[in-house]
């Protein structure tokens, strides 16, 4: 038994001793449920296989460094790609609409439900392209998507939006 289990008070409650014993048994069985394979070149125990599959990383720090650097860059790039996807499609829709109509781009109110569903699908499709969780960056992504959605579904044109921003910024 790990000594850690005894370094903090609070675990022992007579009414719960049996439950804790069952939990320990379940944990033991889960630990032993790793596949034991005698035919594998990497070894037949869990520890053998994990050691064999990771030992090279220790001896090739430059490779590990490059992998780390790649990961650090790939994540923002993926997020940027997803944002570009959100920004690009409404932009194309606006351009097509503006090309045939001199009025500012608008979306009919009774169409907004369909647009929202499409937007949700778009978000889900884009997020599924990312093989890593977005974590904290998802909030930023969602905020950008919401802002773009509002821009597309509002009665204001891009021109009006830009003018408002310019006035707000005092430029």
Partner 1 sequence: MSVVPEGSQPGSDGAEISAILLAASRGDESAWRRIVDLYARRVFALAQARLRNPEVAEEIAQSVFATLAAKLVGGGYAEQGKFEPWLFRIASNRIRDEQRRHRRHPTTHDTELISQHEARSEAARTTESEQVTRLRWAMGQLTDSDREIVELRHHGQMSFAQIAETVGEPLGTLLARHHRALAKLKALLDESKAAGATAGGGIPS
> Based on CB atoms, which residue is closest to partner 1, 63 or 114?
63
Distance CA 123, CA 69 (A): 27
Task: Count interface residues toward partner 1 (CB under 8 A).
Answer: 47
Judged by CB under 8 A, the chain residues 125 through 144 that form the site for partner 1 are 128, 133
In the complex, least distance from residue 144 CB atom to partner 1, rounded to whole angstroms: 21
- 31 contacts partner 1 (rule: CB under 8 A): yes
> Based on CB atoms, which residue is closest to partner 1, 50 or 142?
50
Distance CA 77, CA 150 (A): 25
Distance CA 29, CA 38 (A): 20
Judged by CB under 8 A, the chain residues 63 through 92 that form the site for partner 1 are 64-65, 67-68
In the complex, least distance from residue 11 CB atom to partner 1, rounded to whole angstroms: 7
Q: Which has the closest alpha carbon to 131: 68, 66, 79, 69?
A: 79
C-beta pairs of 92-97 under 8 Å, 24+ apart in sequence: 93/152, 94/152, 94/158
∠ CA 13-17-22, nearest 5°, is: 145
Helical ranges in the chain per DSSP H = 17-32, 46-59, 61-100, 112-129, 137-153, 158-169
> Based on CB atoms, which residue is closest to partner 1, 65 or 159?
65
In the complex, least distance from residue 102 CB atom to partner 1, rounded to whole angstroms: 43
With contacts defined by CB under 8 A, name the span among 9-17, 76-84, 94-102, 151-159 that binds partner 1.
9-17
Q: Which residues bind partner 1 (CB under 8 A)?
A: 1-5, 7-8, 10-11, 13, 15-16, 18-20, 22-35, 46-47, 49-51, 53-55, 57-59, 61, 64-65, 67-68, 128, 133
């Amino acid at each position: 038994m790990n000594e850690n289990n005894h370094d903090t008070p609070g675990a022992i409650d007579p009414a719960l001793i049996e439950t804790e014993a069952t939990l320990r048994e379940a944990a033991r069985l889960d630990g032993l449920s790793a596949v034991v394979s005698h035919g594998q070149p990497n070894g037949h125990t869990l520890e053998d296989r994990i050691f064999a599959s990771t030992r090279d990383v220790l001896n090739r720090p430059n490779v590990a460094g490059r992998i780390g650097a790649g990961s650090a860059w790939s994540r923002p790039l993926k997020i940027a790609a997803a944002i570009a996807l959100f920004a690009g499609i409404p932009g194309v829709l606006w351009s097509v609409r503006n090309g045939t109509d001199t009025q500012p781009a608008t979306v009919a109110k009774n169409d907004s439900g369909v647009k929202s569903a499409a937007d949700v699908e778009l978000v889900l499709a884009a997020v599924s392209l990312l093989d890593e969780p977005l974590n904290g960056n998802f909030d930023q992504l969602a905020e950008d998507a919401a802002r773009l959605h509002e821009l597309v579904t509002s009665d204001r044109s891009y021109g009006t939006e830009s003018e408002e921003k310019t006035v707000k910024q005092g430029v």
